[in-house]
Structure 1
């Protein structure tokens, strides 16, 4: 079982403490580095498909997974995240399709060129939800991700998952039917998606829910530098 970035632009990950949420993001970032050429503005030009990462990392555990030739921007506090979202929204707005494009042009995304953009957010619960969220400027682009080359990967603690919709990014990911990886969780929280519940699982193990189906997966481990 593997995650195809072309078929699944986004992913939500939730679970209890020490379940492997941050390690999951580290593994995804490592795969970005394996599949794509560096795409940050400081990287040299390339003819290969490239990627740049915009990283929100409150605990600063992911800063060394990829180098500055991949990581376009990172933030770990509220003011930094707000400034980063302003820049991201502006970058995505420049990729918005102009009116009058043909079906072929829309499918080929011929109106812009550049790297795929990966917005990676660890521990989103550490940011204010609702109208106070610094992420609200990026949320409208989640459902239009295919047009602008955006991918969003988010982790959140499992407690209170039923109220996660108060966060603009998580709400947009739900609207986009993004896959959800539920790692070690409390079944008493009730149904998570459709008729599926979470439950106790060993570290690194999770139930990957897509639409109304679920499959158990083991996330490959990637070391985090402390």
Structure 2
């Protein structure tokens, strides 16, 4: 998670629009970082470097702002990448993100397990074909030049509905998560924080923790105990959370807001 250079700090606010965060960020040629909000301590824009940190975990109570975070993430993927560079899979059983991704970016929009299982399984098979073989040269490994095509952003809302006792369709991607940068996989998962202390050992969420993926804790009950690093949820206004990353530790962030698609 990286902080872009800012031009002018905003006043502290209960809500900040994504367009305002974009205006605060000095443009840089080739900058593909995904703007997500502002750090409340320094009032500086905060961004996810998806090339270096391909995954994101979001936890919070109902109405805490989980879907809004994913919506902003989707908008930023489409701002920074062309359809030839990024294709998007949305797993959204409650249809909170319906209409957010236009057809030229949308690989799949999946609203049930019966849809998600075959689609994600086929995607995993396709991405496995990108794993480097013995004939890949050191130069190709350095530049990731042994395959061509779009990177795939898999965005999952309400993971507590997706991962059931019958398993999770997304779990077929879990063996590829550690090699995500090699195969062009990005996974963003949002789940309610209630019950997360038990659910965190589900394979996909456990891999997020093992890989020290960026984690965002929105409003929730501290009774759940530590969920991201040593951080427990705590009550907060919608969109306010603690972002935990390897490089920056824990910072309080107001996540950027975008209006839902009409």
Q: TM-score, normalised by structure 2?
A: 0.78
Once residues 114 and 143 of structure 1 are traced to their aligned partners in structure 2, the CA distance between those partners, rounded to angstroms, is 20
Q: 1:142 aligns with which of 168, 177, 183?
A: 177
Once residues 182 and 52 of structure 2 are traced to their aligned partners in structure 1, the CA distance between those partners, rounded to angstroms, is 14
Contact 1:129–1:166 under 8 Å retained in 2: no
Question: Which residue of the partner structure matches residue 87 of structure 1?
Answer: 122
Question: Which residue of the partner structure matches residue 74 of structure 2?
Answer: 29
SS across alignment from 1:101: coil
User: What value does the CA root-mean-square deviation take over the aligned residues?
Assistant: 1.7
SS across alignment from 1:110: coil
Once residues 62 and 137 of structure 2 are traced to their aligned partners in structure 1, the CA distance between those partners, rounded to angstroms, is 48
Question: Which residue of the partner structure matches residue 47 of structure 1?
Answer: none
Question: Which residue of the partner structure matches residue 162 of structure 1?
Answer: 197
Once residues 70 and 171 of structure 1 are traced to their aligned partners in structure 2, the CA distance between those partners, rounded to angstroms, is 29
Aligned residue pairs total: 216
**CA offsets 1:119-151 (integer angstroms, 9 cap, x no match):** 110001002346622222111111110110110
**Residues 2 and 130 (structure 1 numbering): CA distance in 2 closer, same or farther, change over 3 Å?**
same
Question: Which residue of the partner structure matches residue 15 of structure 1?
Answer: 60
Question: Which residue of the partner structure matches residue 46 of structure 1?
Answer: none
Q: Does 1:63 align with 2:98?
A: yes
**CA offsets 1:13-71 (integer angstroms, 9 cap, x no match):** 010010100010000000011000013xxxxxxxxxx1000110111121311201001
**Residues 13 and 22 (structure 1 numbering): CA distance in 2 closer, same or farther, change over 3 Å?**
same
Once residues 172 and 192 of structure 1 are traced to their aligned partners in structure 2, the CA distance between those partners, rounded to angstroms, is 13
Between stretches 8-17 and 58-67, larger displacement belongs to: 58-67
**CA offsets 1:130-181 (integer angstroms, 9 cap, x no match):** 6622222111111110110110000000011111234322122222211110
SS across alignment from 1:209: strand
Q: TM-score, normalised by structure 1?
A: 0.90
Question: Which residue of the partner structure matches residue 33 of structure 2?
Answer: none
Question: Which residue of the partner structure matches residue 259 of structure 2?
Answer: 223
Between stretches 97-106 and 154-163, larger displacement belongs to: 97-106
Question: Which residue of the partner structure matches residue 72 of structure 1?
Answer: 107
Once residues 138 and 199 of structure 2 are traced to their aligned partners in structure 1, the CA distance between those partners, rounded to angstroms, is 36
Once residues 209 and 198 of structure 1 are traced to their aligned partners in structure 2, the CA distance between those partners, rounded to angstroms, is 12
Once residues 200 and 166 of structure 2 are traced to their aligned partners in structure 1, the CA distance between those partners, rounded to angstroms, is 12
Question: Which residue of the partner structure matches residue 116 of structure 1?
Answer: 151
Which 5+ residue runs of structure 1 have no aligned equivalent? Answer: 40-49
Q: 1:199 aligns with which of 234, 237, 248?
A: 234
